[in-house]
Amino acid sequence: MRLTTIQQQDCLILYDADSLCDAAGSHQIQPALFTASYWQRRGRITGEAPGRGNSLFVKPDPDCYQEWVIRHYLRGGLIARLSRNQYLWMGRERTRAFAEMRLNAHLFERGLPVPRPIAAWVSRHGLTYEAALITQRIPGARALADCLNDQQISKDALKALLIAVGRMIRRFHDHCLDHVDLNARNILIDSQHKPWLIDLDRCRLRRPGEWKKANLNRIESSIHKFDPSVSVTPLLQGYRTTD
């Protein structure tokens, strides 16, 4: 990957030059890339992702299967009443978009199952900023949460899937990733039953510690939230398995 930063007035964009060069029409690096209107005018919006909102699926190349996910950073909870999309400016490398872009690129280059990062955008407004991130969409993937409630998935198949998820989490832990929001919505399963980890916002690399156990407790709680009858024993079995 070739990460490059450009500045246009009050906007900063960190992007992977290789990814954008591969896109048809060589989309110009500009803040408009992160807006719905840019893609609407071109008829390239293919859908949207569930969650807090403002996550779009777009097709940069009409002749290619590849899609991108555009996600704007939005606050949740009570603080969202004060400001839904504004964050305190503490320097460009400490913005949520730049931090996630660089962490995502770091993990992607080491062969870990994360979506390829495309570009991060930050727009500064004095003491605050807003931001967005573009990543490559994983073809045919759906959330682990949806698989838990799928009656067409047999118990044996679900057990095998949870073992694979446990092994995946162990790989990330071995690379010192603390995923602060490890839940069944942030784990995607592709058409080959391979698990992927998404949404690295506020995540970081850390020395080994109790945070690993906290990650496992969080995913266990999330799985039981979607289906209390599902046993997490296969996941823990996969986590403890070393290749």
Question: Which residues are designated catalytic?
Answer: 181
Cα(75)–Cα(9) distance, integer angstroms:
25
Intra-chain end-to-end CA distance of the chain, in Å: 28
Which backbone phi and psi does 71 adopt, to 5 degrees?
A: -125, 120
Taking residue 234's Cβ as centre, other Cβ atoms within 10 Å add up to 18
Cα(129)–Cα(90) distance, integer angstroms:
9
Closest CA to 38 of 6, 2, 70, 14: 70
